[in-house]
Amino acid sequence: MRFEIVKCHGSGNDFPLIDARGIALDDAQWPVVARALADRRGAVGGDGLLVLQENHGLLRFRMWNSDGSEAETCLNGVRCVARMAFERLGIDRATLHLMRSTVEVAREPDLAPGVYTVGEVAGPAGLDVNEWPLHGEGHEIVARPIARLDPVLAFTAVAMPNPHLVAFVDAIDEAALVRIGTICEAAPDWLPNRANVSFVRVLGPEAIFVRTFERGVGLTDSCGSAMAASAFAAALTGRTEFAREVMVRNKGGLVMARAEGDGMVALRGNATWEWEGAVSVDPATGIAGDLIVARHFNTEIAAWAAVAEASAAA
């Protein structure tokens, strides 16, 4: 199988992206493609695979993690898929249909010179952990410990719509984050569908820093739905304010987020192209090869690098 791809990223969350509107693969084949293309030891590498599809006139977003599992959403990836739809269909706004929800997307003024920017509105955030499911902790978890994860850390559980456990900390202990994320990644009986785990530092009334262990990926520089869930959890617990835009920083860069009291979260962030080309995937071995890069987007890469450097220094 040979695919035309764009290598892209949203806030440092990087992916191969395929326009699959004319591609007929079944749900057993896409995970093979995802594992092959996202394998960082292989020809391309990434945090997962993004796919733009169309079904009866409806634009569809799908995302597979690097382990081949399909995610309910990926808000950094949504912006990249939205950009592809905008450019190839000649539009500047759309509704993308995800696994269990929809998200409104629109072209926005550039966050910084040369940084292609997309706005998205996702939600509503869900607080009922029985829907994940997460067993044995009641219906809601807001700013309280989960003994099976840690006896001290206080978590807030938010579905966006994929499940997130958010803990606000004074300093980010990556070893502890990996330990807790690994427990969730093992899919214990009480958390069969796993969960993303984020440690969040409050930098001020209008800024937070998020570090995430993402299910199916591991420790990641950026996770869009984690940033949205963390922004909502910060407002819910009184650390920031609802209806006030905050800067959400991470190791990959930043997004701007505004959480509302009804659970909706608006994000503004980049959708940056790095290169485009073509690659083959052997369905028998699940290995990607014969990569040809047709074009690098050096101006975009440099524009985002300036934003990420400024964010890291702030």
Q: Which CATH number is 142's domain given?
A: 3.10.310.10
Residue range 122-173, pLDDT digits in tens = 889 999 999 999 999 999 999 999 999 999 999 999 999 899 999 999 999 9
134 lies in the same domain as 242: yes
Report percent pLDDT > 70 for the chain. 99
Report percent pLDDT > 90 for the chain. 86
The helix (run of H) or strand (run of E) holding residue 107 is strand 102-108
Residue range 237-262, pLDDT digits in tens = 999 999 999 999 988 889 999 999 99
pLDDT value of residue 251: 86
The helix (run of H) or strand (run of E) holding residue 289 is strand 287-296
242 lies in the same domain as 151: yes
**What whole-number distance in Å separates Cα of residue 74 and Cα of residue 166?**
17
Our answer to whether residue 74 is catalytic in this structure is: yes
Catalytic choice (8, 80, 184, 223): 223
238 lies in the same domain as 151: yes
Q: Which of 228, 246, 266 is the last residue in one of the domains?
A: 266
Rounded to 5 degrees, what angle do the CA atoms 170, 154, 156 make?
A: 110
134 lies in the same domain as 261: yes
**What whole-number distance in Å separates Cα of residue 85 and Cα of residue 93?**
9
| Domain interval for residue 105 | 2-120+270-313
93 lies in the same domain as 165: no
Domains contained in the chain, number:
2
Our answer to whether residue 223 is catalytic in this structure is: yes
- Please count the helices (runs of H) and the strands (runs of E) in the chain: 5, 18
156 lies in the same domain as 255: yes
114 lies in the same domain as 199: no
Residue range 289-306, pLDDT digits in tens = 999 999 999 999 999 999
Catalytic choice (8, 74, 80, 184): 74
One-character DSSP codes across 297-308: -HHHHHHHHHHH
The beta-carbon contacts of 37-42 under 8 Å, at least 24 apart in sequence, are 37/3, 37/5, 37/279, 37/281, 37/288, 38/64, 38/65, 38/66, 39/66, 39/288, 40/66, 42/287, 42/288, 42/289
pTM over 0.85? The answer is yes
224 lies in the same domain as 302: no
Q: Is the pLDDT score of 111 beyond 60?
A: yes
The helix (run of H) or strand (run of E) holding residue 30 is helix 30-38
Q: Which of 250, 266, 282 is the last residue in one of the domains?
A: 266
262 lies in the same domain as 275: no
142 lies in the same domain as 109: no
63 φ, ψ (degrees, to nearest 5): -145, 130
53 lies in the same domain as 88: yes
Residue tagged 């591609």 (tokens): 23
Residue range 29-45, pLDDT digits in tens = 999 999 999 999 999 99
143 lies in the same domain as 213: yes
